[in-house]
Amino acid sequence: MDDVIANIANGKCDKIGGGAFKEIYKIGDKAYATEIIRSKNATALYDRLKSISDRVSKHVLIPDNYVERNGIRYWEMDFCEADLNREDGNTADILQTFSIDELQQNFDELEETVDELHAAGITLMDIKPDNMLFMCGADRNIQLTDLDGSLIDGKGEPHQTMYYTFLKFQEDYVKQDKFALIASFLDILDSQVWVYRPMQWFRSMKDWTDDARARLDDTPRSKLAAAYLDKLDALEKIEGIAHASVSSIFELKL
């Protein structure tokens, strides 16, 4: 890893993406993320993730190795041909190649993955399309990334991106995660249908979903979007599920 750190510092690696606190580089068949250390939860989080099911490893990008140097954490992971995290940005083109069945299967499995994480005491708190990788492996799995700000057993500082936060759920982290996940699905299916302005907090979920339904047509993507709008309606009606059992969480399935 020391050689990799030196090459990154000397500008000898291909940068393929990044964000406010992170940069991602590609070397051979590996990707390396350099991240300003903001959370002490990260190493405990990834240790816990490794003990969960194969489904989680299929739909969560879990680093293979890490080191910390001078306030920077360096993650090593398998390279995944990706998406919104790439500087040249080809997400829209990639998503058009996914069939509706592939999207449905990925969405179903992502919901189950997030349910498993919740049951293990992990709330992700920053789910959004920007934090997903597309075309991961031959099976074209969608993977969740950038989990470093996740809460473990409710401990930590939540930093969910505002557009994917429903303010009425701000005290219920499980609901926030589920809202963010479904809002991401809707954004992926049709960003012109789901137009959400979180600061208009006085509106009910039904107000938002009714607006979205008015924009739908008869295409397969719209029909799938309608099913997720129904899930958002159901989510608001369920009493607090921050400490709910796994069985009650699974009641949100299609």
Does residue 241 belong to any structural domain of this protein?
Answer: yes
Do 4 and 32 form a contact (C-beta atoms < 8 A)?
Answer: yes
Do 111 and 124 form a contact (C-beta atoms < 8 A)?
Answer: no
Residues 189 and 68 in one domain: no
Does residue 228 belong to any structural domain of this protein?
Answer: yes
Residues 140 and 224 in one domain: yes
- Structure tokens given for 111: 């919901």
Q: What is the pLDDT of residues 72-112, one digit of tens each?
A: 888 888 877 654 444 555 566 677 778 999 999 999 999 99
Does residue 59 belong to any structural domain of this protein?
Answer: yes
The phi and psi torsions of 27 (rounded to 5 degrees) equal -135, 110
Residues 137 and 14 in one domain: no
Q: Which of 232, 146, 250 is nearest to 193 (CA)?
A: 232
**Domain count for the chain:** 2
Do 177 and 124 form a contact (C-beta atoms < 8 A)?
Answer: yes
Beta 72-78 vs 65-69: how paired, if at all?
Answer: antiparallel
Does residue 9 belong to any structural domain of this protein?
Answer: yes
Q: What is the distance between the alpha carbons of residues 135 and 60, in angstroms, rounded to a whole number?
A: 13
More confident residue, 243 or 64: 64
For residue 35, the surrounding DSSP H or E stretch is strand 30-36
- Structure tokens given for 211: 């607006």
Average pLDDT over residues 216-233: 96
Residues 123 and 189 in one domain: yes
Residue 246 has pLDDT above 60, yes or no: no
Residues 10 and 99 in one domain: no
Residues 97 and 139 in one domain: yes
Residues 194 and 146 in one domain: yes
The CATH number of whichever domain residue 12 belongs to comes to 3.30.200.20
Q: Identify the weakest region by mean pLDDT among 3-12, 135-144, 160-169, 170-179.
A: 135-144
Residues 62 and 126 in one domain: no
Q: What is the pLDDT of residues 116-164, one digit of tens each?
A: 999 999 999 999 988 888 777 777 889 898 887 889 998 887 778 889 9
Do 17 and 25 form a contact (C-beta atoms < 8 A)?
Answer: no
Which of 34, 55, 78 represents a domain boundary (last residue)?
78
Residues 156 and 248 in one domain: yes
Residues 98 and 224 in one domain: yes
More confident residue, 49 or 182: 182
Do 12 and 87 form a contact (C-beta atoms < 8 A)?
Answer: no
Does residue 116 belong to any structural domain of this protein?
Answer: yes
The CATH number of whichever domain residue 129 belongs to comes to 1.10.510.10
Which of 78, 99, 123 represents a domain boundary (last residue)?
78
Which of 78, 108, 128 represents a domain boundary (last residue)?
78
* Dihedral sign computed on CA atoms, order 74, 80, 82, 87: positive
Structural domain of 43? 2-78
Q: Work out the mean pLDDT of the chain and round it to a whole number.
A: 83
Residues 10 and 124 in one domain: no
Does residue 84 belong to any structural domain of this protein?
Answer: no
Residues 17 and 112 in one domain: no
Does residue 110 belong to any structural domain of this protein?
Answer: yes
Does residue 86 belong to any structural domain of this protein?
Answer: no
